[in-house]
Structure 1
Amino acid sequence: MPKDKTAASVNRKNEIIAAAIEVFAEIGYFKATTAQVAERAAISQPYVFKFFATKEALLLAALEVSWARIIDAFRQVIASAASDRLEAELIEAYDQLLLEHKNETLLQMQAQTISDDTIRKAMRNGFRGVQGMVLEAFQKAGFPNAEERTTIFLAKGMLCNISMALAMPELKGI
């Protein structure tokens, strides 16, 4: 495939994933249809299936994008933050993600309740990736009780999710 067609295909796939994130977050994964995703992406429904064999495959791709965004943001912070600012900067980065990519967080929150083994595996892998990255960073920074601090950090992140989803900033102590 020529380079420009490959790039266009990748862009179209990314547009479909972005549309799916929006639709799934707004309507809910189980209520949403691939026709609604196609409409949001301004394409035909069969074109969605050119890239994703099933709605579940599309959800998995959307979850992969959302977890990758968190990992990338945290990786940047870990690479540049001073040890004494590491946790605060990770929190700031996550708060920024909640502002800029709210639908991805809402999607992850929904996915946590889906009992399908493939979806659960994707969610476990995402959480493990974030947990491992934060734990390693806290250990390298010399944080005492790095395991416990990592657990508390992740718990605060979940509370931030709930705070955002319910429009209850008081849950974050704001």
Structure 2
Amino acid sequence: MAKSETTSVNRKTEIISAAIEVFAEIGYYRATTAQVATRANISQPYIFRFFSTKEALLLAALEVSWARVIESFRKVVESASPEQLETDLIRAYSDILNSYQNEMLLQMQAQTIQEDAIREAMRHGFGEVRGMVLDAFRAAEISNPEERTLLFLARGMLCNISAALNMPELMEN
């Protein structure tokens, strides 16, 4: 990859990271591309070199956040024993939530956005995670894999709410 291509990829990644922070902190609808540009230390017009609209930027940010979850779960599925699978998946999600809380806050907000492209991105992300977990639970011969997958996903949503509201007691057993 040529230096200018590398710089361009890095800059795009920096813009997406800045957008994740800004959108998570003040909300997608209140956030402006000017605020994202300020956070990324670039000019606002430079954002539009990579993203045609603020919605396109949000879609890229959601893609990054879902990719992180999916890749983390993929690593667990490929390496965990059947006995440790669910525990290791929970630990992997907890690690993501602790390290990338803004991404999870972004996903939570995106669940309420009614634009078709955003809804489709969220359906796709949830669907891919659900399918991966369900397939892994079936392969591990976990009893009632559909119900266990549902409970796993519900627990993940509760983890998100717990983190968003700073209510760790929601996760206490």
Shorter chain as denominator, the TM-score bin is: over 0.9
- Distance across 2 between alignment mates of 1:83 and 1:4: 45
1:165 CA drift (Å): 0.4
* TM-score (norm: length of structure 2): 0.99
Q: How many angstroms apart in 2 are the aligned matches of 1:9 and 1:107?
A: 24
Indicate the residue corresponding to 2:25 in structure 1. 26
Is 1:79 aligned with 2:41?
Answer: no
Q: Specify the alignment match of 1:126 in structure 2.
A: 125
Structure 1: how far apart are the matches of 2:20 and 2:59? 11
> Which AA in structure 2 matches 1:90?
L
Q: Does the residue aligned with 1:84 lie in a helix, a strand or coil?
A: coil
Instruction: Please list every run of at least 4 consecutive aligned residues from structure 1 whose deviation after the TM superposition is greater than 6 angstroms.
Output: none
CA shift at 1:138, angstroms? 0.3
- The aligned counterpart of 1:144 is 143
Q: Which residue of 2 aligns with 1:159?
A: 158
Structure 1: runs of 5 or more not aligned: none
Deviation at 1:76, TM superposition (A): 0.5
Structure 2's unaligned 5+ residue stretches are none
Q: Distance in 2 between matches of 1:127 and 1:78?
A: 17
Tell me, in whole angstroms, the C-alpha distance in 2 between the residues paired with 1:139 and 1:54. 41
Paired AA for residue 115 in structure 1: Q
Distance 1:82 1:117 in 2: 39
**Is 2:89 the counterpart of 1:106?**
no
Quote the residue 1:42 is aligned against.
Answer: 41
Aligned residues: 173
How far is 1:57 from its partner? 0.1
Cα drift, residue 168 of structure 1: 0.5
Map of 1:13 onto structure 2: 12
TM-score by length of 1: 0.98
Amino acid at match of 2:157: M
Q: Percent identity?
A: 65
Per-residue deviation at 1:67? 0.1
CA RMSD of aligned residues (A): 0.8
Partner amino acid, structure 2, of 1:74 = F
